[in-house]
Amino acid sequence: MHMEEEIKRLMDSYGNDVLRIAYLYLKDKYLAEDAFQEVFIKVYKNFDKFRKDSSEKTWILSITMNTCKDMLRLSWFKKVTMFKDVEDDLSLRTCENVDDSVINKAQYEELLKEVMNLPAKYKEPLILYYYEDLSTVDISSILKIPEGTIRSRLYRAREMLRSNIDGKIEYEG
């Protein structure tokens, strides 16, 4: 298989995952599309370095998260996003696979807002576990953190979300 065909296959297989993760990180559709292009340029340039000691998805999502972190570090990006309205961000659907009959849109958006407000060390494992359906082993590989730490951060993140959401319900009630 030619390199271009291989990259196209990877884009077809993992492109939606890359866009979803990029949007969750960057909170902007156009920046997520820029990140998507950057990720697959990096995949193309580094494909020969892929050692297959992890799955393709794990490798590509690791590149995605690092690309998004790099974009977030840029000072111009911080200046631009500082003025963005959070409500505009939440109006875009980030996951097509959410069952609207189980979680209505308002509850989903509130939960997503709470997830995105968590510190990065809790937010990243949650996104990879619940939104990307990765195992704690794969998350450990992507974030380069021991699996036990991933499990404890997932537990702590769920506790923080539960506390934040319960606090709001009591406050509003």
The model's pLDDT over 94-142, given as tens digits with 9 standing for 90+, comes to 444 444 444 455 666 677 778 888 898 998 888 888 878 888 898 998 8
49: DSSP letter = G
Q: How many whole angstroms separate alpha carbon 56 and alpha carbon 10?
A: 8
How far, in Å, are 2, 49, 80, 169 from residue 92 at the CA level?
36, 36, 18, 24
SS3 11: helix
Span 147-172, average pLDDT: 79
Q: How many whole angstroms separate alpha carbon 125 and alpha carbon 136?
A: 8
Q: Residue 107's pLDDT is what?
A: 65
Among the residue ranges 73-82, 102-111, 123-132, 154-163, the one predicted with the least confidence is 73-82
